[in-house]
Amino acid sequence: MKKNIVLFVLFVLPIVAYLFFASGVNSFTKLPVITPKVADFGNWKSLKNEKVSLNSKITILGFSGTNLLRNRGNYFNLNAKIYQRYHSFKDLQFVVVCPLGTEADAQKIVDALGATTDVSQWHFVFTTTEEIQSFYKQLKLVGKLDQDFGTPNVYIVDKERNLRGRKEKKGYKEGYNTFHPSELSNEMLDDFKVILYEYRAALKKNHNASKKL
């Protein structure tokens, strides 16, 4: 009996402790709001000529710039690391804001993704470069769009149109670089799980409250 206790203390307990702490602080707290109540999209059309809105959706938001095809690997990284795992969640959408004139390139990316993935939650929307700059500016981010009106970063916007991100020692992590698969697999996936947990907890709370009425 004593031998079993010693073995438990020496081997099992440290593993349990590691798994608990390795899950990170973000797994047990809400993801901070960086910019509250960002504006919704304008009257911008998607590839399917549909109106896309930030309202009532958890949105992974990106800005393609004019060089979609040159940066297409970024979308394949995002698709593989995040989208394919969670695209069946009905309140989730991946939206990429693109300059007018890049519709054909965006369609090529969607077709390529669609060869292996249900792309119904991917939305590429199009507007002028002036409107892209104006929309991005009101997000109040430290990072800027590049000269092609794009960025490799994507951002998490919750159902109430709040831009969310993790708190770090030197401020907040605003976005997640799609050029680096490891950043998507670790930091973004961790933070994305926090957002999903928030909504599932809220749904459970509301369900339990309705049962008591």
pLDDT for position 22? 41
The amino acid present at 190, given as its one-letter code, is D
Q: Where are the beta strands (DSSP E) in the chain?
A: 33-35, 45-46, 58-64, 92-99, 122-127, 150-157, 163-164, 166-168, 171-173, 176-177
Please spell the DSSP secondary structure of 120-147, one letter per residue. TTEEEEEE-HHHHHHHHHTT--SS---T
Asked, for residue 27, whether it belongs to a domain, the answer is no
pLDDT for position 156? 97
Residue 171 pLDDT more than 60? yes
Asked, for residue 5, whether it belongs to a domain, the answer is no
Kindly report the CATH number assigned to the domain that includes residue 43.
3.40.30.10
Asked, for residue 156, whether it belongs to a domain, the answer is yes
Residue 184 pLDDT more than 90? yes
- Encoding tokens for residue 39? 């504006």
pLDDT for position 170? 77
Asked, for residue 78, whether it belongs to a domain, the answer is yes
For residue 4, name the pLDDT band (cuts at 50, 70, 90).
low
- Please give the Cα distance from 132 to 126 (Å, whole number): 9
pTM of the model: 0.82
8-66 pLDDT tens trace: 555 555 554 444 444 444 444 689 999 999 999 999 999 999 999 999 999 999 999 99
Asked, for residue 150, whether it belongs to a domain, the answer is yes
Which domain covers residue 171, as residue numbers? 32-208
- If DSSP codes are grouped into helix, strand and coil, which group holds residue 58? strand
Mean pLDDT of the chain: 86
Calculate mean pLDDT across residues 97-102. Answer: 98
pLDDT for position 27? 41
pLDDT for position 107? 98
- Encoding tokens for residue 17? 């402790």
Asked, for residue 2, whether it belongs to a domain, the answer is no
Residue 211 pLDDT more than 50? no
Residue in 161, 168, 170, 153 with CA at minimum distance from that of residue 26: 168
135-149 pLDDT tens trace: 999 999 999 999 999
Question: What's the total number of domains in the chain?
Answer: 1
146-162 pLDDT tens trace: 999 999 999 999 999 99
Calculate mean pLDDT across residues 172-182. Answer: 94
Asked, for residue 75, whether it belongs to a domain, the answer is yes
pLDDT for position 175? 94
